[in-house]
Every structure is written in C-alpha cells, then in structure tokens.
Amino acid sequence: MPNSHWTPADIPDLKGRTALITGANSGIGYRTAQVLAEHGARILLAGRRPDSLADAARRLRTDVPGTHPETVELDLGDLAAIREAAAPLAAGETLDILVNNAGVMNIPERRLTRDGLELTVGTNHLGHFALTAHLMPSLQRSSAARVVTVSAVAAAWRAGDLADLMSEHRYRPMSAYAKSKRANIVFTQELARRFADSAHRAVVVHPGSAVTNLQRHTSASRTGRLLVALASRTLMGSPDGAAWPSLFAATHPEVTNGAYLGPAGRDQTSGTPEPVRLPAGADGPDLGAWLWRESERLTGVTFPVPQT
C-alpha cells in the first residue's frame, strides 16, 4: 500500500459516487465531507440536529462552489430514528462510501439511549452497526462500496475489553469510550470477513489526536477546560489532518478489506495514513462473531450480510 507521499490532493475523481458521513456538521466529519466534495462526490451530511446540518450544508456550498450537499437527520442513539433515516436511501439509492464518524465520549454518569442501551457504546458502535445494516441495500447497489468506521487510539487501552459491554456492573466514562472504539474495530473485522467474496471493503481508522467537538464532553470543571485548552495548543492536531485516515480509507485504490489505518507520525498522532497494529485479539473470529450476535440482539437488527 504505497502511501509515503500521499495527501488528499491524490484522491481520484469521485464524480458519480455518493458518500454519507455521520457527524458531518463539524470537525473531522465536516472536513471529510468537504474534501470528498472537492473531488466530485455527491455528499450526504448526516447528523442529529437539523439546524447544525443546515449550517454545515451552507458552509459546504460556500467552501466547494458547485456542490449540492443533502442532509440526513440521524440520531444514532435512537434505533427507530436510524431505521427511519435509512429507509429512503435503502429503497432506491446507491451508496458508494459510508463513513461512520460520529461519536460521543466521556459522559460523566452512566446514561441510556432511548432504547435502554449504554449511551457511549449505544451511539458509537451499536448506532453505527444498525445504520450500516439498514443501508446495506444501498451499499450493495454499488459496484465496490466502502464502509469506513472511525475508531480511536483508546481502542488499545486495557479498559476497552468488551466484557460487560453495557457497563452494567461498573461504569467509567473513558472505559465506556474505549469499549465503543474497540467494538468499532471488531465490528469492521467481522464485516470484512463477510465482504470477503465481494468487491466491497470494510476499513477502520483512527484519526490520532485532534481537537473536535468530542472534547466538549471532557470535563465541566475549570481545571479540565484548561487542560483541554493546553492540549489543543501543544499535543493535538487539527481536524484537517485528522480526516486524512478516513479520506485515505474511503478513496485509495489499494486499501485492503479489513485494513486498520492511522497517522504515520510519532506516536500515531499525525501524519500520512498507514496500516497500524490492531489491539490484541481484535481480529479474532470468535470475538467478531460474538460481538455481531450481541449487536443484533441488543439492536434487534438482523444484518443482511451472511457469515462466511
């Protein structure tokens, strides 16, 4: 996968291809949408708040003259809303690129989605699991669809063990986040196995460290806000560079099914995307099959891609 000099300028012409990006109203998601639009893709901006989506669409029309973004109101914490949002697309649209980008982190107390699922895993993993399932008819109409799911370096933390997936026995905010991000990887590996006999590809990425709207959940304390402000000036990259792994995964012709990509720079915080090491055991078929079954049970969604 030669990529040592890759930049978004190397993305091929995407005219005729349709991309849906969740969490596309700001940060990494918006930058991903912007660059894909610059290369000719039709863009579907998906997010929870209609006003924020409308603002993002206006900005995108200004940033990329001639583009005509569409918006999809989508609450990943509401399974009925996910089904409703996906239904018109599944009925007749062709979707070539799905970027599962949206997420929440560091929710101070254990909270539940509308369907009674722990909020962080319920949004970051189960919401995207259900969305991808409902959009499979659209993805299967593409000659070579890509499902790109955005994980995080937290996936490698010991706290990311998927036991007690719903944090029913013990809840820690960043443990729940780490679980959700490891689940993104395990889900992608299992989806890649199910795509093995097709031209479709499932790819997972982590963006390194970037200042995005996720940081709004970090801490309400004055000390916490100061630490985030300091980190944003010294340690974290911008959403521009942090979008590179998603863009590479969505467009590079040599990206392989099941790849895990992250920044190549020191400590994987920034730089040109490259394959990075999976958390130990995250590609195990037994774990993948278990998480798939558990995800179907928790969401009530049967994924229309058979096990190989």
Question: Distance between CA atoms of 210 and 269, rounded to whole angstroms?
Answer: 8
**Angle in degrees, 0-180, between the axes of helices 173-194 and 285-299, rounded to the nearest 10:** 110
What does the chain look like in DSSP terms, one character per residue? ---TT--GGGPPP-TT-EEEEETTTSHHHHHHHHHHHHTT-EEEEEES-HHHHHHHHHHHHHHSTT---EEEE--TT-HHHHHHHHHHHHHH---SEEEE-------SS--B-TTS-BHHHIIIIIIHHHHHHHHHHHHHTSSS-EEEEE--GGGGSGGG--SSTT-SS---HHHHHHHHHHHHHHHHHHHHHHTTTSS-EEEEE---SB--GGGGGS-SSHHHHHHHHHHHHHT-B-HHHHTHHHHHHHH-TTPPTT-EEEE-SGGGSSSSEEE-PPPTTTT-HHHHHHHHHHHHHHH----SS---
Question: Distance between CA atoms of 169 and 175, rounded to whole angstroms?
Answer: 12
Please name the residues in contact with 259: beta carbons below 8 A apart, sequence gap of 6 or more: 1, 201, 203, 204, 249, 275
Question: Is 177 annotated as catalytic?
Answer: yes
Question: Distance between CA atoms of 157 and 279, rounded to whole angstroms?
Answer: 8
Which of 154, 153, 161 has the alpha carbon at shortest distance from 177? 154
Give me the catalytic one of 30, 171, 177, 260.
Answer: 177
Q: Which residues are catalytic?
A: 177
